[in-house]
Amino acid sequence: MALITLRQLLDHAAEHGYGMPAFNITNLETLQAVMIAADRTGSPVLVQASRSARSYVDDVFLKHMFQAAIERYPHIPVCVHLDHGNELSTCLSAMENGFSSVMMDGSLMADAKTPSDFDYNVEVTASVVEQAHARGVSVEGEIGVLGSLETGEGEKEDGHGFEGKLEKKQLLTDPAEAEAFVRATGVDALAVAVGTSHGAYKFSRRPDGDILAMEVIEAIHARLPATHLVMHGASTVPQDLQDLINAHGGEIPGTFGVPLEEVERGIRHGVRKVNIDTDIRMAMTGSIRKFLDENRSSFDLRAILKPGRERTIALCLERFERFGAAGMASRIRPSTLHAMADRYAAGLFNTKVA
């Protein structure tokens, strides 16, 4: 059984210079696709569930799905992470349900809509760190608010993100603030705002430095070389999947995601966790649309979902390979949560400075 923590996984990624795709899963087929791709490439796995995924699947089902993935692929280390926890109680219930890592997103208030201030963010994140580390569980924090530098808006298509418009300054993480945040909270990984946003509608053109501020990542990494950085909203929104969806009744207006080369640039500058949800949704739904379009009398649910699972496997395979995670599974010696808790207690990972 190889449940591992985010801390152990990203420490390994940093030591060996690779990035981990963090795949959002929503159901059995998406989890299977990630596991099959990891098995074929010999990659470790980082899977995450949002609050809405948890309520859609149900925590008990989710816990057993993750355990099934670990039992089915015992040679693959699997980190199970909560995406965008909004308050301490959400993070605690994830820990109680088998998550080995949690994100406390204190960049927004608990309503997941209202931007917070620095002091609130530090306080809520530090309280999660204290509870999590005592259990050996890792914590990702966020400083800076995710949103588009083109429009000043947060993408709310998936129900997460601020309302209204923000100044460019608020949409870009301040490196000095990032450093103070890590020192005050002791987080294991740090999500930063550089102009990416959730969902398919990230950029109206192929992004350049004006709308995707990769140099901010470089500046943060220069100040915090030992901190694992996280890119949210890192789907590429592939043109072929937009075309697939639109060819079969979809109506996705032309849009651009984060080019893989920019993610690779991030990985060279401390990005270790790369969040991907939208690309999986597009691979699944585009393939489902195509199948239903071409097989109008079919109602065999397995036949309908299978092409989506196949397309998702191909997508995950490419990400594992491009980010350098392929072949790394067998090079990790999983530590238990107990062992991690002992290490936190001994101050071995201590980035927190009073």
The residues in 236-275 that bind ligand G3H, with binding defined as CB under 6 A, are none
Residue 12 three-state SS: helix
- Kindly state whether residue 277 participates in binding ligand G3H, applying the rule CB under 6 A: yes
Our CB check for ligand G3H shows the closer of 159 and 209 to be 159
Place of tokens 């999983």: 334
Amino acid occupying residue 339: A
- The binder of ligand 13P chosen from 85, 115, 233, 270 (CB under 6 A): 233
- C-beta neighbour count of 81 within 10 angstroms: 27
- Residue 251 exposed, middle or buried by CB count within 10 Å (0-12, 13-18, 19+): exposed
Residues 6+ apart with CB under 8 A from 102: 81, 82, 85, 91, 94, 95, 128, 132, 137, 138, 139, 140
Size of the site for ligand 13P (CB under 6 A): 14
Give min distance, CB of 25 to ligand 13P, in A: 11
Of residues 81 and 84, the one with the C-beta less far from ligand G3H: 84
β-bridge pairing 138-143 and 101-104 = parallel
Options 5, 8, 24, 173; binder of ligand G3H; rule CB under 6 A:
24
198 touches ligand 13P by CB under 6 A: yes
Tell me whether residue 52 or residue 335 sits nearer to ligand G3H (CB atom). 52
Spot the catalytic one: 83, 105, 188, 279. Answer: 83
Residues facing residue 140 across a β-bridge: 103, 189
As given in the structure block, the two tokens for residue 121 are 């963010």
278 binds ligand 13P (CB under 6 A): yes
Task: Determine, following the binding rule CB under 6 A, whether residue 11 of this chain makes contact with ligand 13P.
Answer: no
Instruction: Choose the stretch contacting ligand 13P; rule: CB under 6 A; options: 63-71, 130-138, 269-277, 307-315.
Output: 269-277
Based on the shown chain and the rule CB under 6 A, indicate whether residue 159 belongs to the binding site for ligand G3H: yes
Q: Nearest to Zn ion by Cβ — which residue?
A: 232
83 is catalytic: yes
β-partners of residue 80 are 47
Does 59 participate in binding ligand G3H (rule CB under 6 A)?
no
148 binds ligand G3H (CB under 6 A): no
C-beta of 125 vs 275, nearer to ligand G3H: 275
Quick check: helix, strand or coil at residue 2?
coil
Is residue 277 part of the contact set for ligand 13P (CB under 6 A)?
yes
Contact 118, 80 (CB under 8 A): no
Please tell me the distance from the alpha carbon of residue 224 to that of residue 239, in angstroms, as a whole number: 35
Is residue 275 a contact point for ligand 13P (CB under 6 A)? yes
Q: For residue 232, state whether it binds ligand 13P (rule: CB under 6 A).
A: yes
Q: Which of 59, 87, 130, 158 binds ligand G3H (CB under 6 A)?
A: 158
* Closest by Cα among 188, 260, 200, 259 to 224: 188
Q: Give me the amino acid identity at 323.
A: F
Within 10 Å of residue 261's Cβ, how many Cβ atoms?
Answer: 10
| Residues 172, 149: Cα–Cα separation, whole Å | 9
Does 319 participate in binding ligand 13P (rule CB under 6 A)? Answer: no
**71 contacts 1 by C-beta, under 8 angstroms:** yes
Distances in whole angstroms, Cα of residue 156 to Cα of each of 31, 175, 337: 24, 26, 35
Examine residue 276 and tell whether it contacts ligand 13P (CB under 6 A): yes
Q: Kindly state whether residue 199 participates in binding ligand 13P, applying the rule CB under 6 A.
A: yes
x/- string (CB under 6 A) for ligand G3H, residues 189-228?
---------x------------------------------
CB of 258 closer than 8 Å to CB of 212: yes
329 touches which of ligand G3H, Zn ion, ligand 13P, none (CB within 5 to 8 A by kind)?
A: none
CA distances to 67, 275, 313 from 196, in Å: 32, 11, 24
Binding site for ligand G3H (CB under 6 A): 24, 50, 52-53, 83-84, 158-160, 198, 277
> Which residues are known to be catalytic?
83
Binding residues (CB under 6 A) for ligand 13P: these are: 24, 83-84, 198-199, 232-235, 275-279
